[in-house]
A and B are shown apart, each in its own frame.
Chain A
Amino acid sequence: MENLVQTALQNINFAAIMPSLVLASFAMVLLLLNAFMKRGVTAPAAGISLLALVATGFASISSWNNAQFGFAGHVALDNYAIFFNIVFLIAAGLTILMSDAYLKREGYPVGEYYTLILFSTVGAMLMASGTDLMTIFLGLEVLSVSLYVLAGFFRGQLRSNEAGLKYFLLGAFSTGFLLYGVALIYGVTGTTNVADIGAFLSLNPEAVSNPLAVVGMLLMATGFLFKIAIAPFHMWTPDVYEGAPTPITAFMSAGPKAAAFSAFMRVFLVGLGSMQASWVGLLWVLAVLTMVAGNFVALNQTNLKRMLAYSSIAHAGYALVGLVAANEIGISGVLYYMLAYAFMNIGAFAVLVLAGKQGEDNLTLEGFAGFGYKRPLLGVLLTICLFSLMGIPPSAGFTGKFYIFAGALNAGYVWLAVLGVLNSAVSLYYYLRVMVYMYFREPTEDFSWIQLKIGATVCLILSVAGVLYMGIVPSGIMALARQALF
């Protein structure tokens, strides 16, 4: 017994979970403080959350190139985890910046909102640093449960209720699949540790073709693909993204999607790498299906939030191309793309947050007629974000896509790269249509209700700066992404 306790204590290494620990402590203190704060005043809560994110960022970066492992192989704070941590922290920080005025406008100035964002970021970080299916599952649930509440946060609004409930039912359903897959893999390999699963499968080639292992792998893939919103598991995305509060939609499309990608790549490349022959073809088909489904349905959307939801499905498809390639440039391309996508998508959503009226019924193509002339600065910034989403140089979206498709070409998936580029061409139509409405239609309104609230404006400027920086000087971030491979 004493031995057991000693071994357990030796295995603990708090440095390996330091970022999550810092952020979770901040979130719990903030939750308490919220009880004593004046109702309707949320700026202090937002300030403390931003401080928490910065502190967590430092806690993460301090382990760069100095990987920490702990808790008997359950957690690893390696460069891969740190890179993703920074992506989550940036996504959460930008979301918090744009939220304050928005919450007031929509009539829900409640401080718990920020606590929930912090908790979901903790979950995302646990997913990225989890090296055991148990830790990954717990991170996923911490992330998802906070997000269910956030999606349904406007509890008096039927749209938000529906979004929250839909997300909850489908999320719980997909978790069931993920867990059943984990159980079957555990049955075949006798362990839930990702590295041990990888070692077992490479030592026992007959286990790779074991039907139980194949079914388990497929079920696990279903669970993850659901969270990433890959077709045909994407049906919930447009509904939830449209109904959720706009900053939360921005956050969901950047942070949690990257979190699911981080865990998915670690499990499939490290743990199930020996089974690559049985998953690579499947992911090839799903990547193409996702790009096509996202881009073609986005073509006739008139609600901008919904259009961006479909575009986010398409972007998940592009990122999956990098995973199919599974070589150095492809995987580091995915890491790069996740950061780039956080900047460009949150930037576009920040414009929607600023331009919306209470209730947000004006966020349609018609509602943006003449926007570029009446509000030239916002028009230009939105244009830059949309150009980046299209993948026009010099923007972060272009370089990200370039690396991913280069990875696919290097790995010999010529057709996949060709289909990806053709899909990008299709996406030009619906992004350009927004600009056509902004610049070539007579304004029907004077947009006088738009006030450049400080938080959302700073968020927008930082996002655009990120997009341009990653587009013009891609080598700096790309070098970091290359060091971040496991």
Chain B
Amino acid sequence: MITVYHYMVLSAILFSLGTIGVLTRRNAIVIFMCVELMLNAVNLTFIALSSHLGNMDGQVFVFFIMTVAAAEAAVGLALMIAFYRNRESIDVEEFNLLKW
């Protein structure tokens, strides 16, 4: 029997994987994919909890998260293209003009 706890554990694992990916990967697009993984882990949590609580708010929230993630992707990829045009690379190690 799959209960809400299984979903919670699964989404916690997915969220951690996303976080580790953001912190360790060097390619901006892969980092962005890891952020998307984190957001989808959140979506899974919301849906599991929504069905467990019998309350629709969580599912509505998921729609908003998906919409916002799409808008973010549009802006983020545009920024990456602008960066690539000037640098010929999107490796975050190349972020070397600004540093403390």
Contacts and interface: CB of A to CB of B under 8 A. Distances in A.
Nearest to B90: A165
Contact of A164 (B22, B55, B60, B82): B82
B79 A165 contact: yes
23 contacts: A134-B61, A134-B64, A137-B65, A145-B68, A145-B71, A145-B72, A161-B79, A168-B75, A168-B76, A169-B22, A169-B31, A169-B32, A176-B38, A176-B39, A183-B49, A183-B58, A187-B52, A190-B55, A192-B58, A235-B100, A239-B95, A240-B98, A243-B97
A438 to B, nearest CB: 25
B57 A141 contact: no
A142 B68 CA distance: 9
B38 A186 contact: no
Contacts of A149: 75, 78-79
A163 B97 CA distance: 10
Contacts of B31: 169
B64 A138 contact: yes
B98 A243 contact: yes
B38 A152 contact: no
Contact of A169 (B35, B39, B46, B64): B35
A187 B45 contact: yes
Given A148-B76, A156-B86, A141 B68 contact: yes
B87 interface: yes
B74 to A, nearest CB: 9
Given A172-B32, A183-B46, A297-B100, A162 B82 contact: no
Contacts of A169: 22, 28, 31-32, 35, 76, 92
Contacts of A192: 57-58, 61
Contacts of B72: 141, 145, 168, 172, 175
Interface of B: 8, 15, 18-19, 22, 28, 31-32, 35, 38-39, 41-42, 45-46, 49, 52-53, 55, 57-58, 60-61, 64-65, 68, 71-72, 75-76, 78-80, 82-83, 85-87, 92, 95, 97-100
A242 B45 CA distance: 37
A243 B100 CA distance: 12
Nearest to A179: B42
B45 A180 contact: yes
B95 to A, nearest CB: 5
Contacts of A243: 97-98
Contacts of A235: 100
Chain A contact residues, majority secondary structure: helix
Given A168-B76, A187-B52, 12 more contacts: A149-B75, A152-B79, A152-B83, A165-B76, A165-B80, A166-B95, A173-B38, A175-B39, A176-B15, A186-B46, A186-B57, A190-B53
A235 B98 CA distance: 11
A176 B44 CA distance: 13
B42 A165 contact: no
A234 B80 CA distance: 22
B79 A164 contact: yes
A180 B83 contact: no
B25 to A, nearest CB: 11
Interface of A: 134, 137-138, 141, 145, 148-149, 152, 155-159, 161-166, 168-169, 172-173, 175-176, 179-180, 182-184, 186-187, 190-192, 235, 238-240, 242-243, 297
Nearest to A241: B98
A264 B76 CA distance: 25
A162 B35 contact: no
A184 B45 contact: yes
Contacts of B39: 175-176, 179
Residue of B35, B49, B60, B71 with highest tally of chain A CB at under 10 A = B35
Contacts of A161: 79, 82-83, 86-87
A191 B35 contact: no
Given A166-B98, A172-B76, A183 B42 contact: yes
Contact of B75 (A137, A148, A238, A297): A148
Contact of B83 (A165, A183, A186): A165
- Please list the 6 inter-chain residue pairs (A to B) with the smallest Cβ-Cβ separation, ordered nearest first: A176-B38, A239-B98, A183-B45, A187-B49, A161-B83, A179-B42
A184 B39 CA distance: 14
A457 to B, nearest CB: 30
Nearest to A190: B53
Nearest to B18: A176
A243 B53 CA distance: 46
B48 to A, nearest CB: 9
Contacts of A175: 39, 72
A179 B83 contact: no
Contact of B64 (A137, A145, A172, A180): A137
Nearest to A144: B72
Nearest to B95: A162
A15 B13 CA distance: 43
Contacts of A158: 83, 86-87, 97
Contacts of A168: 72, 75-76, 79
Given A161-B87, A172-B32, A186-B49, A179 B99 contact: no
Given A134-B60, A161-B79, A141 B71 contact: yes
B82 A159 contact: no
B41 A180 contact: yes
Contact of B95 (A137, A165, A172, A182): A165
A94 to B, nearest CB: 25
